[in-house]
């Protein structure tokens, strides 16, 4: 079963060197982890995708599920690399076909994630992908959505985990992997 993945320090340092901290964005007090410098560095981006894809090893994974919108950037090349199908979890009203959705609580108000009703097959195993794990609200909603459709969450793979926000606890034992931890 998928245990802790050994992360090669040289590659991790290379990736970390292309993540830019932007203080007070989008709100005062938030340090935004800007991935756009990483996207502009082909070697660092390739290593990031490779390491994020390694999370699948040791699990039975039948498909990758990427969360809008920065999850798409990583999820698509990971699915290609792993030779797995790719499915999309999106914000409300974006998917054209019939959808299922899950509402979740934000600090103020609620949000919702949706998926096509034919995206998840009962009994199959899914790897959820996003760029960053903060409070875990989004990822937990995506996990519930997959489970509600009869799928199983094999693992979740993030580029960055903000450990101090303890999003991992909210994911209640579902295996979480992140390349960089802050």
What is the contact surface with ligand AMP in residues (CB under 6 A)?
Answer: 30-33, 70, 130-139, 167
Shortest reach from residue 104's CB to ligand AMP, in Å: 8
**How far is CA 130 from its chain centroid?**
2
Minimum gap (Å) between residue 46 Cβ and ligand AMP = 21
Extract the runs of DSSP E, i.e. beta strands, from the chain: 20-23, 31-34, 63-67, 86-89, 99-105, 110-116, 125-133, 152-161, 176-181
Between 95 and 178, name the residue whose CB sits nearer to ligand AMP.
178
Residue 61 vs 133, nearer CB to ligand AMP: 133
Strand partners, 133: 161
Q: H/E element holding 170?
A: helix 167-170
Q: Which is nearer to ligand AMP, 132 or 154 (CB)?
A: 132
Instruction: Give every CB contact of residue 106 below 8 A, 6+ residues apart in sequence.
Output: 137
Rounded to a whole number of angstroms, the minimum distance from the CB of residue 132 to ligand AMP is 4
The nearer residue to ligand AMP, 32 or 112, going by C-beta atoms, is: 32
């Amino acid at each position: 079963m998928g245990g802790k993945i050994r992360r090669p320090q040289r590659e991790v340092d290379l990736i970390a060197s292309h993540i830019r901290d932007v203080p007070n964005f989008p709100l005062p007090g938030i340090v935004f982890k800007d991935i756009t410098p990483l996207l502009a560095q082909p070697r660092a981006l390739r290593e990031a995708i490779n390491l994020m894809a390694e999370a699948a090893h040791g699990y039975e994974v039948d498909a990758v599920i990427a969360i809008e919108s920065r999850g798409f950037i990583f999820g698509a090349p990971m699915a290609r690399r792993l030779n797995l199908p790719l499915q999309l979890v999106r914000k409300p009203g974006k998917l054209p076909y019939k959808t299922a959705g899950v509402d979740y609580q934000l600090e103020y108000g609620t949000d919702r994630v949706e998926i096509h009703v034919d995206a998840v097959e009962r009994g199959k195993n899914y790897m959820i992908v996003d760029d960053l794990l903060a409070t875990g609200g989004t990822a937990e909603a995506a996990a519930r959505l997959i489970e509600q459709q009869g799928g199983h969450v094999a693992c979740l793979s993030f580029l960055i985990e903000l450990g101090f926000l303890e999003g991992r606890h909210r994911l209640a034992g579902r295996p979480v992997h992140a390349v960089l931890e802050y």
